[in-house]
C-alpha cells in the first residue's frame, strides 16, 4: 500500500493511478532483473508496461473487472444467504394468521409466512435484476487506447486481453464491441449500480417492517421478538433496540446517495472520454461492500433469530375491525362500514354490533368471519 499513495480525488481518467501502477510494475521488474530501481531500464513504465494501452481504456477495464468480481463473489452470495433465511421463515410461519396493514392501518388478514414470502421474493427479484446486468459489465474497454480507435494497439490485442482476463478470473469477460462507447460512457456501471440501488430500496423496506413489527415490547406492535444483540441504552436498563435494522437502513441510505453520484458521474462523459472514473469506481465498490456485509450481518444477527409473539399476533387479529370485510358479500359495503364504525365508536366487537344490530345471527357470524378463510382467493 505504501507504493500506491494516491487518493480517489485526482484526474477523472484515473491516469495518475494508472501511471502509479506502471511505475511500481516497472520498478519491481527492474529489481527482479538486478537493475537499478527508478532508472526505467531495462523495463520502462510507459514504453513497456503501458505498451498498447492508455489510461483511458485500462482504468475502465480495471473498474469493470473489480466491479464484476465483487458483485459475483461477494454481493450475490450474501443476498442468496439472506433470501434463504427469509424463505425459511416464510415456510415456518405459513400457518400463523395475523392482521394485515395498509396505510399503517388495520386491513384484512394474511399469514406471517405470506408477509415474509413477500420479503423473500423482493430479494430474489433483486438478485435476478443484478444478474441481468452482468453481461454488459463483463464487456471490457481494453484495446480502445486513447479515444476508442485502438491506435498503437495491434490487431487482436483487445480480444486477446479479454480472453486472458476471463481465464484468470473465471468470469466470462469479453471485449466491448464498441470501444467509443466503452470509453466515453459507463452506462453498464450505472445500470448495475441501479439494480443494486433497487436491492437497497428493498432492504430498507424489509428492515423497517421488521423493526416496526418488533416494536415494544409492551407498548408497540410487538408481533415479532427480535434478537437481543447488545444493550440498547446507556440510561434505560434492560432496553433492547433493533440495531441490525437501523444499521441496514443507514447503509441503504448511503447506497441511495452513491446512486445519485453514479448517475451524475455516468452522465458526465465529455466527448470521447468519461472523466469521473475514480469516483464511480469508489462509490460502486463501496455500495457492493455495504450491501454484501450488511446482508450477511442482517441475516446472521437478526433474521435467523426472529421469533413470532403469538399472543400479540392473536390479540391484534381478534381486535381488528377489518375482519368485517368477510361480511361484504353477505351484507354489502354500507352495512359492513356501519358495523365497523359503530364498533370502533362504542368500543365493542364486530360480533356485538353485527348480531346486536340484527344483521345476522351468532351462527352466521361464526360461519362468515373466519380468518383462516380470508387468506386466499374465494
Q: What are phi and psi of 269, to 5 degrees?
A: -85, 110
Spatial contact of 316 and 223, defined as CB atoms under 8 Å apart: yes
Judging by beta carbons within 10 Å of its beta carbon (0-12, 13-18, 19+), is residue 270 exposed, middle or buried?
Answer: exposed
Contacts 24+ apart (CB under 8 A), 260-264: 262/189, 262/190, 262/193, 262/194, 263/190
Active site residues per annotation: 103, 233
CA angle (73 as vertex; 176, 189 as ends), nearest 5: 35
Torsion region of 143: left, alpha or beta (phi above 0 gives left; psi -120 to 50 gives alpha): left
- One-letter-per-residue 3-state SS of 186-218: CHHHHHHHHHHHHHHHHHHHHHHHHHHHCCCCC
DSSP state of 45: I
Residues 6+ apart with CB under 8 A from 271: 184
Distance CA 251, CA 289 (A): 10
Contacts of 120 (CB under 8 A, 6+ apart): 83, 86, 87, 90
Q: What is the DSSP string of 85-128?
A: HHHHHHHHTTT-EEEEEETTEEEEEEEHHHHHHHHHHHHHHHHH
Amino acid at each position: 500500500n505504501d507504493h500506491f499513495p494516491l487518493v480517489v480525488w485526482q484526474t477523472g481518467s484515473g491516469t495518475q493511478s494508472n501511471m502509479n501502477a506502471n511505475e511500481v510494475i516497472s520498478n519491481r521488474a527492474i529489481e527482479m532483473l538486478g537493475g537499478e530501481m527508478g532508472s526505467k531500464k531495462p523495463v520502462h513504465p510507459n514504453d513497456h508496461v503501458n505498451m498498447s494501452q492508455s489510461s483511458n481504456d485500462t482504468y475502465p477495464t480495471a473498474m469493470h473487472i473489480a466491479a464484476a468480481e465483487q458483485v459475483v463473489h461477494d454481493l450475490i452470495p450474501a443476498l442468496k444467504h439472506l433470501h434463504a433465511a427469509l424463505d425459511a421463515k416464510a415456510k415456518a410461519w405459513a400457518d400463523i394468521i395475523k392482521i394485515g396493514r395498509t396505510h399503517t392501518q388495520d386491513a384484512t388478514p394474511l399469514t406471517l409466512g405470506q408477509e415474509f414470502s413477500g420479503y423473500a421474493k423482493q430479494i430474489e427479484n433483486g438478485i435476478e435484476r443484478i444478474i441481468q446486468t452482468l453481461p454488459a459489465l463483463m464487456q471490457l474497454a481494453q484495446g480502445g487506447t486513447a479515444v476508442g480507435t485502438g491506435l498503437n494497439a495491434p490487431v487482436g490485442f483487445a480480444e486477446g486481453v479479454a480472453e486472458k482476463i476471463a481465464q484468470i478470473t473465471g468470469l466470462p469477460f469479453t471485449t466491448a464491441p464498441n470501444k467509443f462507447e466503452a470509453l466515453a460512457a459507463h452506462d453498464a456501471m450505472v445500470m448495475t449500480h441501479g439494480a443494486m440501488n433497487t436491492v437497497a430500496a428493498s432492504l430498507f423496506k424489509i428492515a423497517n417492517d421488521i423493526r416496526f413489527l418488533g416494536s415494544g415490547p409492551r407498548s408497540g406492535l410487538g408481533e415479532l421478538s427480535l434478537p437481543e444483540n447488545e444493550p440498547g441504552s446507556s440510561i434505560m436498563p434492560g432496553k433492547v433496540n433493533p440495531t441490525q435494522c437501523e444499521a441496514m437502513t443507514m447503509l441503504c441510505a448511503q447506497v441511495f446517495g452513491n446512486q445519485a453520484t453514479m448517475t451524475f458521474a455516468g452522465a458526465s462523459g465529455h466527448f470521447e472520454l468519461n472523466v469521473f472514473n475514480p469516483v464511480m469506481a469508489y462509490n460502486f465498490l463501496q455500495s457492493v461492500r455495504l450491501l454484501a456485509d450488511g446482508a450477511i450481518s442482517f441475516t446472521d444477527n437478526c433474521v435467523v433469530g426472529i421469533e413470532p409473539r403469538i399472543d400479540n399476533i392473536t390479540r391484534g387479529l381478534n381486535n381488528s375491525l377489518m375482519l368485517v370485510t368477510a361480511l361484504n358479500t353477505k351484507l354489502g359495503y354500507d352495512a359492513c362500514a356501519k358495523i365497523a364504525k359503530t364498533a370502533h365508536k362504542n368500543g365493542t366487537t364486530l360480533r356485538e354490533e353485527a348480531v346486536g344490530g340484527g344483521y345476522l345471527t351468532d351462527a352466521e357470524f361464526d360461519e362468515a368471519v373466519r380468518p383462516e378463510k380470508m387468506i386466499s382467493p374465494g
